[in-house]
């Protein structure tokens, strides 16, 4: 038996799949037992003596944590869920395209691999905190570094960056100017956040790296079961290091292998626009940006996963395992 520590469960998707597999989800059980003794005196029309006993038990139980394991077992029994953990650790299978051929988009897979969480919002918050600590230290005459400061003097070091055009606050706007420390200043950190917003759309992502150069990524949708804490709390709990995570879901899409953009001529002979060709030309441009890693799309040879659940197995004591064996 695997004891799971869930980070995320999309209960809507889990229920929908279970309903298709089993024709419904049993969430309550009712058991009724009745015993009856009948005694008749005289003719049939005379009064009858009736004695009866009965008992009824009713249990209304929420499947809760058992909901996803039930789906996992059902999919495995129907040979619909494929564990690709070992195959995904082979670099050759990624480079040769065997994984893409064997598990096309839409395939239900389970993969366990080293992975980490990433959220641009948390990065911006952490960088802002770092900046304000340095501003504060400067204000009380302390220095976080023994090296002489070369930037950020007087009030300029405490000035917050101006709002972006249109007066809309951006994530990077929270990072103040502060004295440069080992080549890092407010502008540098704001630039990192701006890049992060393009590479990973703000929100919680989990990135698995089962093999060198291959990334399996999933965006965890807010409001789902277990994902009910703020980003700061999640990162305080799990940190930014890589841990072994198990990700279960359906393959969304693979990173493009296109290196040349298609023809962008989307005009018809009468001068009007072919809407289908225009959409494909725009999508090709976005796929190319995704290939370069500039926008939030899977990058070759990796793929994106539509997550049903994310968890990590709770390890058993090695001594206990040896004792039982």
- Angle at which helices 11-22 and 67-77 pack, to 10 degrees? 50
How far, rounded to the nearest angstrom, does the alpha carbon of residue 168 sit from its chain's CA centroid?
A: 28
How many helical (H) and strand (E) elements, i.e. helices and strands, does the chain have?
A: 10, 9
Which pLDDT belongs to residue 162?
54
The whole-number pLDDT of residue 224 equals: 75
What is the greatest pairwise CA distance in the chain? 115
User: What is the residue-wise DSSP string for 47-78?
Assistant: -EEEEEEEEEEEEE---GGGHHHHHHHHHHHT
Spatial neighbors of 233 by CB under 8 A, at least 6 apart, are none
Give residue-wise pLDDT tens across range 250-292: 999 999 988 877 677 888 889 899 999 899 889 999 999 999 9
pLDDT of residue 59: 45
What are the per-10-residue average pLDDT scores of the chain (325 residues)? 86 89 62 62 56 56 68 93 97 95 97 96 94 88 54 47 58 91 92 95 95 95 75 89 96 90 80 91 91 94 96 77 60
Q: Give me the pLDDT at residue 251, please.
A: 98
Give 52-57's long-range contacts (Cβ < 8 A, gap of 24+).
56/30, 56/31, 56/32, 57/30, 57/31, 57/32
pLDDT at res. 91: 96
Calpha distance 201→208 (Å, rounded): 17
pLDDT score of 139: 80
Beta bridge partners of 101: none
> pLDDT tens for residues 6-43?
999 998 899 899 888 876 565 555 566 666 666 555 55
pTM of structure: 0.77
CA 160 to chain centre: 33
Give residue 230's pLDDT: 77
Q: What are phi and psi of 244, to 5 degrees?
A: -80, 110
User: Two tokens at 250?
Assistant: 């359906």
The region, left, alpha or beta by phi > 0 then psi within -120 to 50, assigned to residue 141 is: left
Compute the distance between CA of residue 319 and CA of residue 325 in angstroms, rounded to an integer: 10
Sketch the domain layout of the chain as residue ranges.
1-24+65-117+201-255+302-325, 122-198, 257-297
Give the Cα separation of 321 and 325 in Å (integer). 6
At residue 278, φ and ψ (nearest 5 deg) are -65, -45
């Amino acid at each position: 038996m695997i004891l799971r520590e869930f980070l995320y469960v999309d209960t809507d998707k889990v229920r929908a799949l279970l309903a298709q597999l089993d024709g419904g989800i049993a969430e309550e059980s009712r058991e009724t037992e009745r015993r009856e003794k009948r005694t008749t005196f005289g003719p049939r029309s005379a009064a009858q003596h009736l004695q009866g006993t009965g008992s009824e038990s009713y249990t209304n139980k929420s499947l809760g944590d058992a909901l996803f394991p039930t789906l996992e077992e059902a999919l495995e029994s129907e040979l619909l869920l494929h564990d690709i953990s070992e195959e995904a650790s082979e670099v050759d299978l990624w480079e040769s395209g065997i994984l893409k051929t064997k598990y096309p988009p839409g395939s239900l897979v389970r993969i366990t691999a080293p992975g980490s969480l990433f959220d641009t919002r948390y990065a911006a918050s952490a960088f802002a905190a770092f900046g304000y600590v340095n501003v504060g230290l400067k204000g009380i005459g302390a220095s976080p570094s023994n090296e002489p400061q070369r930037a950020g003097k007087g009030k300029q070091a405490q000035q917050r960056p101006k709002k972006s055009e249109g007066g809309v606050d951006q994530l990077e706007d929270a990072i103040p100017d502060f004295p440069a420390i080992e080549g890092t200043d407010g502008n540098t950190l704001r630039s990192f956040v701006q890049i992060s917003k393009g590479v990973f759309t703000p929100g919680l992502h989990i990135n698995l790296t089962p093999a060198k150069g291959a990334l399996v990524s999933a965006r965890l949708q807010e409001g789902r079961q277990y994902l009910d804490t703020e980003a700061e709390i999640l990162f305080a709990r799990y940190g930014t290091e890589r841990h072994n995570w198990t990700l279960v879901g359906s393959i969304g899409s693979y990173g493009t292998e296109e290196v040349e953009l298609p023809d962008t001529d989307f005009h018809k002979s009468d001068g009007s626009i072919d809407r289908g060709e225009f959409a494909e030309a725009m999508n090709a441009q976005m796929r190319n940006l995704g290939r370069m890693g500039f926008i939030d799309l899977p990058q070759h040879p990796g793929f994106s996963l539509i997550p049903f659940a994310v968890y990590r197995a709770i390890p058993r004591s090695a001594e206990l395992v040896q004792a039982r064996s």
